[in-house]
Structure 1
Amino acid sequence: TIDSKGRIQSWNRGAADLFGYSSEEILEQHITTIMPNRYLEKFYRELESFLAMGMNTIVGKTMELDCVSKDQTVFPSEVSIGSWEVNGKYYFCGIIRDISNRREVEKAMHNYNRQLETQNRELEQFAYIASHDLQEPLRTVTNYTQLLQSKYSDQLDELGNKSMHYISDATNRMRQLIKGLLDYSRIGRNRELRRLNCNLILDNVIDDLGGIVKESKACIEINQLPEIKGNEMELRLLFQNLITNAIKFRKKQSVPQIKIWAEEEESYLNFHVKDNGIGIAHEHVDKIFIIFQRLKSRREYEGTGIGLAHCRKIVESHGGKIWVESEPDEGSVFHFTMPNQSK
């Protein structure tokens, strides 16, 4: 507490701990003792204005100011100032809180955001390189391989034709990998979010997958799902990847049985995609979400190994998380959450 002349009148234990002065040392000292010099002119101006006309920009407000401790350490603080009048004399009470830790967190967050911005720029640069510089030599290899196969296949022996086939397959796989990387880099960059009907999205996805659904005779059961706020193209890709995997990794001589349902919690929506496929060993349930991670050989199951990495990035960019529960030969249940924004 200070009086109208700026002299300190009361000093509690919290202030003593914060500034290092005991009550005996600080009482009747001027408040400017614990202020940086740059605040002095403003302090006197505000005090004079308040006492003369009741006008101020600090009394009754909370501000962030620097303070000075006994050892001359300057630290950031949050200051709230109130006033009252007793027998025609004004007194001012200040509540001061050290916010050094908060400032450190804010600084760390600022540096982290700057790093993210740098990484995003590098990612965009990579996407440009991948879409142009890397694909151009692939197109050249593909064109010359096709030319050789069309004009000289009858002059090549069995090993030569088989080599051409291997080259063609390898360039196609490389093209798919580059496309997968490009798609992965784009996830989360388009932040156009709107309320979406999940059942309608799944209807469209199943229409798009009509060929493999029909070929595999898959039975897909979809319960009534809640609406969510999200990016439509990304959510379509999420459901498409989960359903495609459920069909792809089915047991031999088995008809895929897929069930999709959701539960609404207070702060999030919990979605489930269950299948009766080959399942996943416990030691691999985390690996499957890593980009280009394959648990089965390409000869057994086609693909680039990027689909579930897409799923994780999509879910996390929407503020959720994804995981799987599975047993070998017993099928899998993929779970993912989304924020419940209906409340």
Structure 2
Amino acid sequence: MTPMQTLELTETNYHRLLKRQIRKSLPPDLAEHPDIQDFLLAVNQAYTEYQDDLSRMELILEQSSGELFKANRELSRIAQEKTEEAALTSKRLEEVVGSISEVLVQLDRDGNFTYLNQAWESITGYPVSASMGQSFAGFFPTAEAREKVTEILSQETEGKEETLRIYTVGGQEKWLGVSLTPYFSNGQHIGFTGTLADVTARVTAETKLKSYTRDLERINAELDQFAYVVSHDLKAPLRAINNLSEWIEEDIADMLEGETKDQFRLLRGRVHRMENLINGILSYSRAGRMKTVKEKFVIRGLVDELCESFSTKKPLSFSIEGDASMEIEAEKIALTQILQNLVSNGIKYNDKDEIRISVGWKDLGKEYEFHVGDNGPGISPEFHERIFVIFQTLQARDEVESTGVGLAIVKKILDEKHSKIRIDSVMGVGTTFYFTWPKNEAKDI
């Protein structure tokens, strides 16, 4: 039934009942009076307006209820989606935490476990559920490890790291990298958070490396001793040959003539060359391995001292290029050895009437660069690598006496420093050697 039909029925009932009451209560002439009729019409109009307002209110209420129901249904859907998303996120977070190889740990103030992820069981074999509430220190078998744990837990202001030995459920020895930091709530220290990492592989590698280092140091010491003994034993007969040749020459001096006398000089020259080669081998074997103390020094002072130590029959001049006040911290002996060999090489093989040597340095930021140049004959490109091989020389030893060890020593020292050397040469004009020197050398193990 529509609102209008309800209104019409109500109006019909209303008029019938109202007229009956008027007839019963008023005289007939008064009941039919026009004023009474106007009154009835006014009442009817008011009642009609009331019914219209009520119908509109019911319609609005019905529409509002529908919208509210739709909104409530949408909110329910959104709440369900968010609940599912939160559950999925929580599950993913649990999977991520469970897949972490490090143990995420939380301890109370007394050092008992209040949180552990699955990595604890993966590393130690102890179930997470059974470990909760247990004392962290109780899982370490040695008194030393437990004391270190106690020391860590005594820190209430800053974190600390330790490497501790632990045994798994199966009795396997492992090493844990322990990193714990105090945490607070409302300004009160309530426990510790941190990580426990399985560092067994690292500790094992470090132990092996230390063992290898000790063995290497022992072998190097034995090699040094061997080289010294061998060089001494080889030099002894050489000196004997040299002395015998001198004695024989003295005894038969009146019988020696021309070619025979030259052969005796050639014999002693070969003996001296052999002795120099032995010394060169000894120097090469020690190059780069003999650790010297680092010291601070001004480069210009080192170069000035070096230049003053050279002398030759030909006129010799030096050109110094670099910051005169630059100070570095390095192994002075090793750097001096390199510069000395390069300068000596530039003088020894120089074919000019007047020898000119240049020495320079500059700061490249992460490293230094040095150069040593000469005005000699130059070095052909095909020999730029070969000259750094031990005993290799570009001229016959009868022309220029040389062991061919100097540049090999230079290369070996620079290789130890992870530095580089290069050559810039023009045939007939000269050669310049450039090499780098590290500012921060790798620390010895």
The question of a shared fold, defined as TM-score above 0.5 by the shorter chain, is answered with yes
Deviations 1:214-267 (A, max 9, x none): x0x4443211343333455544433222112123333x4575443322121333
User: Contact 1:36–1:67 (CA<8 Å) still a contact in 2?
Assistant: yes
User: Contact 2:118–2:128 (CA<8 Å) still a contact in 1?
Assistant: no
Closer, same or farther: CA 20–239 of 1 in aligned 2, 3 Å: same
- Find the counterpart in structure 2 of residue 169 from structure 1: 269
Deviations 1:182-216 (A, max 9, x none): 4445556462443223222222322221325xx0x
Taking only the aligned residue pairs, the percentage that are identical comes to 27
Closer, same or farther: CA 335–320 of 1 in aligned 2, 3 Å: farther
User: Contact 1:241–1:311 (CA<8 Å) still a contact in 2?
Assistant: yes
Structure of higher CA gyration radius? 2
Instruction: State how 1:1-343 maps to structure 2 within 5 Å.
Output: 1-2=106-107, 8-12=113-117, 14-15=119-120, 18=123, 25-29=127-131, 38-39=141-142, 43=146, 56-59=150-153, 60=155, 61-68=160-167, 73-82=172-181, 92-130=192-230, 132-155=232-255, 160-185=260-285, 187=287, 189=290, 191-212=292-313, 215=314, 217-225=315-323, 226-250=326-350, 252=351, 255-315=354-414, 319=417, 321-327=419-425, 329=427, 331-340=430-439
Offset, 1:271: 0.9
The higher relative CO (CA closer than 8 Å, separation ≥ 6) is in 1
User: Contact 2:373–2:431 (CA<8 Å) still a contact in 1?
Assistant: yes
SS at match of 1:81: strand
Question: Unpaired segments of 5 or more residues in structure 2?
Answer: 1-105, 441-445
Offset, 1:91: 5.2
Equivalents in 1 of 2:212, 2:148: separation in Å? 38
SS at match of 2:312: helix
Instruction: Give TM-score, length-normalised by structure 2.
Output: 0.60
SS at match of 2:206: helix
SS at match of 1:299: coil
Output the amino acid matched with 2:161: T
Output the amino acid matched with 2:280: G
Equivalents in 1 of 2:201, 2:431: separation in Å? 45
Equivalents in 2 of 1:41, 1:8: separation in Å? 20
Output the amino acid matched with 2:366: S
Offset, 1:145: 0.5
Between the two proteins, the alignment pairs up a number of residues equal to 324
Closer, same or farther: CA 41–220 of 1 in aligned 2, 3 Å: closer
Deviations 1:9-55 (A, max 9, x none): 4333554665577xxx5224355799766248975x899xxxxxxxx
Output the amino acid matched with 1:260: V
Equivalents in 2 of 1:36, 1:173: separation in Å? 69
SS at match of 2:131: coil
Closer, same or farther: CA 65–153 of 1 in aligned 2, 3 Å: same
Closer, same or farther: CA 191–301 of 1 in aligned 2, 3 Å: same
Closer, same or farther: CA 89–242 of 1 in aligned 2, 3 Å: closer
- Find the counterpart in structure 2 of residue 51 from structure 1: none
Equivalents in 2 of 1:304, 1:282: separation in Å? 22
Output the amino acid matched with 1:205: L
Closer, same or farther: CA 161–103 of 1 in aligned 2, 3 Å: same
User: Which structure shows the higher helix fraction?
Assistant: 2
Equivalents in 1 of 2:259, 2:422: separation in Å? 44
User: Contact 2:140–2:165 (CA<8 Å) still a contact in 1?
Assistant: no
Equivalents in 2 of 1:310, 1:10: separation in Å? 60
Offset, 1:305: 0.8
- Find the counterpart in structure 2 of residue 52 from structure 1: none
Closer, same or farther: CA 179–164 of 1 in aligned 2, 3 Å: same
Aligned-residue RMSD, C-alpha: 3.9
Closer, same or farther: CA 278–69 of 1 in aligned 2, 3 Å: farther
User: Contact 1:77–1:99 (CA<8 Å) still a contact in 2?
Assistant: yes
